[in-house]
Amino acid sequence: MQDQAPPPKPAQVSEKPATRRVQKPAPKPYHHGNLRETLLAAAQAVLADRGALGLTLRDVAKAAGVSHAAPYHHFASLNDLLAVVAERAFITLGDALEKASAEPDTGERLLKINGTYVACARTQPAQFRLMFGPLLQRKAEHPALKAAAERAFGFVLAAACEHDPKNGPVLALTGWSLAHGLSNLLIDGALEDLPVKVETPEALARQVALRALGLPK
């Protein structure tokens, strides 16, 4: 009896690991109110980086990571968006001036308000320029912005009138003009190359206000 040949071995099939499909995360949906805040935050970031000159809603949308049409769900124009950014900046300024107004001595109160104004401008220079820049000169078109700006100046006016009831309005305008002008000089770096010794911004703001407003040292 002849030996039978062994049956052929089945062909080995190389088993490759199954390729796992990596699913891309779905874009995060914007719930009510979320897109608006995202756009405002993006606008603040772009302003801080490059200023308002030449800024467009498309730039803000790109920074926010949304479509070019998305901003129009909440803002009819770039000015409408920037008006809200400026309104919030005025609210922040007003809150800081209100805190400075708690100083009981009226002369020292004016000095603190002056210094606080300069400090706020130096902290957020891009927003400071926006608040008083040409894009938002017609504040009456934005009632909330106008109200926030008037509230902030109200603390300056109230402090000046309490210190000098007869000349309060003029004193307030003098102090505001002084603080505003010094703020612009500081944030533009205009004092850095002067051939005179410039004190720290805080000390400079105080010394200039003492002399300009005729306050006792």
- pLDDT bin (cut points 50, 70, 90) of residue 199 is confident
* Chain segment 114-150, per-residue pLDDT in tens: 999 999 999 999 999 999 988 777 778 899 999 999 9
Q: Render pLDDT for 70-96 as a digit per residue (tens, 0 to 9).
A: 888 899 899 999 999 999 999 999 999
pLDDT at residue 13 tops 70: no
Report yes or no: 172 and 161 within 8 Å, Cβ to Cβ.
Answer: yes
Whether residues 164 and 197 fall in one domain: yes
CATH code assigned at 66? 1.10.10.60
- Rounded to an integer, the average pLDDT of 207-213 is 86
Statement to judge: residues 141 and 199 lie in one domain: yes
Shared domain check, 163 and 85: yes
What pLDDT was estimated at residue 96? Answer: 98
Place of tokens 């000169």: 137
Position 50 scores a pLDDT of 87
Q: Tell me the CA distances in angstroms from 43 to 13, 71, 93, 160, one per residue in order.
A: 59, 11, 19, 35
Same domain, 161 and 68: no
| 83 and 70 in a common domain | no
User: Of the candidates 15, 44, 75, which is a domain's last residue?
Assistant: 75
Claim to verify: residue 122 and residue 53 sit in the same structural domain: no
How is residue 69 written in tokens? 């049409």
Are 62 and 169 members of one domain? no
Instruction: Domain count for the chain, please give it.
Output: 2
Give the 3-state secondary structure of residue 46: helix
Average pLDDT value for residue range 149-163:
96
Measured between alpha carbons, how far is 155 from 177 in angstroms, rounded to an integer?
14
Query: Does residue 9 form part of some domain?
Result: no
pLDDT of 175 strictly over 90: yes
- CATH code: domain of residue 121: 1.10.357.10
Same domain for 96 and 63? no
Nearest to residue 158, comparing CAs of 204, 94, 209?
94
Residue 59 domain-assigned?
A: yes
What is the per-residue DSSP string for 109-155? HHHHHHHHHHHHHHHSHHHHHHHHSGGG--GGGSHHHHHHHHHHHHH
Q: What is the pLDDT of residue 166?
A: 95
Same domain, 69 and 147: no
Q: Provide the pLDDT for residue 16.
A: 53
- Per-residue model confidence (pLDDT) at position 140: 80
- Taking only the tens place, the pLDDT of each residue in 24-62 is 554 454 444 589 999 999 999 999 998 888 888 999 999
Domain containing 44 equals 31-75
The band of 66, judged by pLDDT with boundaries at 50, 70 and 90, is very high
